[in-house]
Structure 1
Amino acid sequence: MNCDFKHLVDLSSIDVYLREYLYALCLDIEHAAKTKLMKLLTLNKNEDGYSIVVKKNKYELNQVALAINERLSD
């Protein structure tokens, strides 16, 4: 391959620019998703928010139990 140091510097600069752009894009997508979720939850008269926390905690406890059982069975 015919590659000199200048090409590597250019490639590094492109890599940094792309990384910064994709990071900002991901943050924007995450914010939009959270905003939409909060709007849907706020407008839902049947949801008080506490049931979501209870479901999340049950799910996480179940995942921990599954991981422990998997390690013990090895």
Structure 2
Amino acid sequence: MKPDSPLPVGLLQQRLDEDRPTSAHVDLACTDIEATAVWHEKLGARRLERGRHWLVMADPAGQPYCLTGRQPA
């Protein structure tokens, strides 16, 4: 049975092949990564690293999260 609409929250687990403590962060899907990043920077976030389809950001407390090019739910 399929849900009627996309789920607003999804969990993705990745094996990174790195020896480090387990961690997690939020990925936010957006239709325009650059415009969303500018908005987040105005709210106190900063850019950390750019990937092909994502942008790693840090919130004002320094916690990482990603803006992704996935289709928002």
What TM-score results when the alignment is normalised by the length of structure 1? 0.18
The structure where helix makes up a greater share of residues is 1
TM-score, length-normalised on structure 2? Answer: 0.18
Q: Which has the larger radius of gyration?
A: 1
